[in-house]
Amino acid sequence: MDRSNGICARLRKRALENISDRAEMRKLKNNLEPNLDKNDKTQISTWLIVLIFLIPVFVYLPGILGKIPYPSDSALYTDLMLTHYPNALYLKQSIIEYHQIPLWSSLIHSGAPFAANPLAGLFYLPGWLALLFPLPEGISVMLAVHAVFGSWGMYQFLKEENIGEIGAIAGGVAFGLMPKMAAHYGAGHVSLIYAISWTPWLLLMSRKDQKGWKTGITAALLFLADPRWSVYAGMFWFSYDIAHRQEQRFRTNFLYYLRSGIIALLIASPLILPMYEFVGLSTRLQMGVDDIQAFSLAPTKILNLIIPASGGNPEWYLYSGGIIIGLFIMQVFIEQLRKINRFWSAWVVISLLISFGSWLINPSWLVNLPIISLLRVPTRAFFLAGYSLTVITARSLDSIFVGGLGHKRLSKIAFGLSLFSLGMALSITYLLGKFSIIAIWGFVFLFLLSSLILISKPIAKERGMIGILVGLMIVDLFGAGIQSYYRKDKNEITSREVADSIKGDTDKFRLYSPSYSFPQYLAAENGFELTDGVDPLQVAAYSEFMEKASGVTSQGYSVTIPAFNTGNPALDNTGSMPNAFLLGLLNVKYVISEFMIDNPDLHEIPTGDQSYLYVNGFILNRAWIEDELICEENYQLKNSKKISNLEFSPNRIELTAYGPGRLVLSEVYYPGWKVIVDGDAKTIEQAYGLLRSVYLTEGEHEIKFNFQPITVYFGLGLAAIGWMLAVWQIRKDK
């Protein structure tokens, strides 16, 4: 009998090794997994499932109720208020006040393309739903919606992976509660969270979409949410599809990739084309190795995997959950489960290696790689580890705790983990000299997991234990997530008396600050325009001009204008000498600073605010006509000709001017701007190396500047073709 069993075992092993058809391999593997009946949903109430998937909403609830998330209590900035809230407010105001969808933004940098900026989210239509709510609360509402959407997508994906109901539910909610996602919410990385929420749906398409049309649509929406994440998600999806695709015929697979790629490119064209143009004219091309590898994960931060801390930098937040880490370790010691999970385990390792960045390899060759050379912050790749750990968790819960796979070894593993977690918790407490719940958080839940296994025998029959375990996992992830960011009242950060000092000025002007004393969200709320600002995409010519105008030289690539070389805006540029005349060319009337500026051309105005307020003695109007170049010596020529009826809207500027002479508009020269003089199209010339100008003959002229970027319009046309083609083919294939 023993001999017969041995022969059968060898034959079974040989069959597994020689099967070439992946569908059969997948079927055989699934038979090895003792899962629940995938169609048996009677054990879990539908309403309970709905309530479980709504749990991620509570991570974003403080923001929905009016709080502003920050990375820490000492953090002064968050991208939510730096970028996403001002952009959303500008979009909303443009539609309401001007009845225009803005393609150009006048918020910062004396104007920049809005449609070409991926952080504007202009072509990611789901993000527009935030405008239906008060801002910035509406953004948190949409982040919560995306978290639930991503959770549901993960649940559907796990079901397609032949994981049982309980495991799929646990994995789905674990994805939505991913603590690293909550930490990035504190940093205000709105578009990143939007895009990550599409990742489960992209991988799901590999299972459900046979032709590639739906895959292309999903990939396009992910790209429109955040192009940066699409690089990581694309590699992740492609490797998954190659590893799991059932179809072996080259032609069928080639057509699938071709269709999905074409549809994705077509639908994403409204952003791809103008962004490509913008990047080519931006400082992004100046990034060096240090910029690409910014915030690489130091090996000393590896304990962040089990300790929910980041040292104040959410990019280094790695905590995945004590229970999730425990399940990952357990499945390593169960051969069948380890083999099935090897793809996901490999990506845990790969994403961690990518996160190490410059600590692991010499990255000098990265600057020569297309696309990759434009990316920063390699630790973002760790979201792929979070995804992979979620899949491993779901399969482990399903196979071990529901099916009883490998339960004979679990007691030994659990005993070892319980000793390890208890020892680490006690050691950390001793070293700190005090009790810190954050420091031992992960070890506490690792200990609870181990203890629960030790007291539950036989594990396959303890159906109540799986509920307790999933509940503990939810508490673990939610608790870590809600503690990963700090919450401030909006009135704590938006009250500046200096704003009241200039609110009454009805002139058209811009502001400049060498110390970021007038934040972008405050400018957007009060209708002010800035020459400085924070954005990773900047027109290179403008950045070069501002180095001279601000008196601040940038030490390489910077996301801010002016640069802050040590990251302390309040002090970094102390002693800098702004060029009042060059600022005047940009229509800068007021300069606001945290430190005193010793410049005779800037006249201080007393305020009740802690900041210094100066009026520029060389203020120039937003438009003027000149017979010769204006400089400090002939500054009075600015009033020699008359400009009237000056009207501004996001995509159009209209005015009446009297020639002859050169009309100079204090607006950034950029492709896509057209000028019409008395109904005839004219050529826009560059003035002072940066501004727009047009020559006028003698007499009165009606002038219109219109922003009509061909890249946007052509991209919209391609997107329309892509949508029609995809919808037609999907309906046809039904």
The arithmetic mean of pLDDT across residues 276-303, rounded, is 88
Instruction: Yes or no: say if 488 and 66 are a contact pair by the CB < 8 Å rule.
Output: no
Residues in Cβ contact with 189 at an 8 Å cutoff, skipping those fewer than 6 apart:
79, 314
pLDDT of amino acid 497: 76
Nearest-CA neighbor of 581 among 509, 647, 630?
630
Is residue 383 included in any domain, yes or no?
A: no
The arithmetic mean of pLDDT across residues 177-204, rounded, is 98
The arithmetic mean of pLDDT across residues 255-273, rounded, is 97
| Alpha carbons within 13 A on the beta-carbon side of 574 | 9
Nearest-CA neighbor of 174 among 393, 351, 349?
393
Phi, psi of 662, deg, nearest 5? -100, 120
Res 679 pLDDT > 80: yes
pLDDT of amino acid 1: 45
User: CA-CA-CA-CA torsion for 425, 427, 428, 432, nearest 10 degrees?
Assistant: 140
Are both 606 and 631 inside the same structural domain?
no
Residue 487: strand pairing partners:
69
The boundaries of the domain holding residue 588 are: 539-616
Residue 663: strand pairing partners:
625, 694
Measured CA to CA in angstroms, residue 94 lies from 104, 142, 278, 506 at distances of 10, 21, 22, 19
How would residue 28 be classed by pLDDT, with cut points 50, 70 and 90? very low
- Percentage of residues in the chain with pLDDT exceeding 90? 70
How would residue 406 be classed by pLDDT, with cut points 50, 70 and 90? low
Query: What does DSSP say about strands 588-593 and 510-512: parallel, antiparallel, or unpaired?
Result: parallel
Measured CA to CA in angstroms, residue 654 lies from 192, 646, 657 at distances of 37, 6, 10
Q: List the structure tokens of 515.
A: 């110390």
Residue 377: strand pairing partners:
none
DSSP 282: B
Structural domains in the chain (count): 3
The domain boundary residue, chosen from 567, 599, 616: 616
Res 24 pLDDT > 70: no
Query: Which residue has better confidence, 196 or 14?
Result: 196
DSSP 308: -
Are both 633 and 575 inside the same structural domain?
no
How would residue 656 be classed by pLDDT, with cut points 50, 70 and 90? very high
pLDDT of amino acid 364: 63
DSSP 233: H
Coil vs helix vs strand at 457 = coil
| Alpha carbons within 13 A on the beta-carbon side of 202 | 29
pLDDT of amino acid 734: 76
How would residue 405 be classed by pLDDT, with cut points 50, 70 and 90? low
- Percentage of residues in the chain with pLDDT exceeding 70? 88
Beta strand extents in 404-543 (DSSP E only): 486-489, 510-512, 529-530, 533-534
Q: b/e map of 689-705 (b: 16 or more CB within 10 Å)? A: ebbbbbebeeeebebeb
Res 588 pLDDT > 70: yes
Q: List the structure tokens of 619.
A: 């203020």
Are both 640 and 663 inside the same structural domain?
yes
The arithmetic mean of pLDDT across residues 246-252, rounded, is 80
The rounded distance, in Å, linking the Cα atoms of 358 and 289 is: 9
pLDDT of amino acid 44: 66
Is residue 494 included in any domain, yes or no?
A: no
Is residue 566 included in any domain, yes or no?
A: yes
pLDDT of amino acid 14: 44
| H or E segment to which residue 692 belongs | strand 691-707
Is residue 225 included in any domain, yes or no?
A: no
Instruction: Yes or no: say if 382 and 318 are a contact pair by the CB < 8 Å rule.
Output: yes
**Residue whose pair of structure tokens reads 């799929």 in the numeric block:** 168
pLDDT of amino acid 132: 97
The rounded distance, in Å, linking the Cα atoms of 205 and 263 is: 14
Res 632 pLDDT > 70: no
Nearest-CA neighbor of 579 among 614, 538, 551?
551
Res 467 pLDDT > 90: no
Res 42 pLDDT > 60: no
Are both 612 and 643 inside the same structural domain?
no
Instruction: Yes or no: say if 551 and 532 are a contact pair by the CB < 8 Å rule.
Output: no
**Other beta carbons less than 10 A from residue 444's beta carbon:** 16
Are both 599 and 650 inside the same structural domain?
no
DSSP 460: G
Is residue 102 included in any domain, yes or no?
A: no
DSSP 35: P
Are both 602 and 572 inside the same structural domain?
yes
The rounded distance, in Å, linking the Cα atoms of 123 and 267 is: 10
Phi, psi of 320, deg, nearest 5? -110, -5
The arithmetic mean of pLDDT across residues 506-524, rounded, is 94
Measured CA to CA in angstroms, residue 507 lies from 502, 588, 621 at distances of 10, 11, 9
Is residue 652 included in any domain, yes or no?
A: yes
The arithmetic mean of pLDDT across residues 324-353, rounded, is 93
The domain boundary residue, chosen from 596, 616, 636: 616
Is residue 15 included in any domain, yes or no?
A: yes
* Type of residue found at 72: S
Q: What is the average pLDDT value for the chain, to the nearest integer?
A: 88
| H or E segment to which residue 447 belongs | helix 437-454
Query: What does DSSP say about strands 691-707 and 673-677: parallel, antiparallel, or unpaired?
Result: antiparallel
Measured CA to CA in angstroms, residue 549 lies from 106, 507, 553 at distances of 19, 22, 10
For the chain, state the CA radius of gyration: 29
DSSP 207: H
pLDDT of amino acid 403: 64
pLDDT of amino acid 142: 99
Residues in Cβ contact with 358 at an 8 Å cutoff, skipping those fewer than 6 apart:
289, 290, 293, 296
The arithmetic mean of pLDDT across residues 222-247, rounded, is 93
| CA geometry: angle 404, 409, 412, nearest 5 deg | 130
Are both 611 and 630 inside the same structural domain?
no
Most confident of 158-172, 264-278, 636-650: 264-278
DSSP 707: E
Query: Which residue has better confidence, 181 or 505?
Result: 181
28-42, 446-460, 698-712: range with lowest mean pLDDT: 28-42
Residues in Cβ contact with 496 at an 8 Å cutoff, skipping those fewer than 6 apart:
518, 522, 609, 611
The rounded distance, in Å, linking the Cα atoms of 114 and 90 is: 10
How would residue 310 be classed by pLDDT, with cut points 50, 70 and 90? confident
Residues in Cβ contact with 453 at an 8 Å cutoff, skipping those fewer than 6 apart:
410, 411, 414, 459
Are both 629 and 611 inside the same structural domain?
no
Is residue 335 included in any domain, yes or no?
A: no
The rounded distance, in Å, linking the Cα atoms of 412 and 453 is: 10
The arithmetic mean of pLDDT across residues 684-701, rounded, is 95
288-292, 302-306, 565-569: range with lowest mean pLDDT: 288-292
User: CA-CA-CA-CA torsion for 144, 396, 33, 44, nearest 10 degrees?
Assistant: -50
Residues in Cβ contact with 448 at an 8 Å cutoff, skipping those fewer than 6 apart:
322, 323, 472
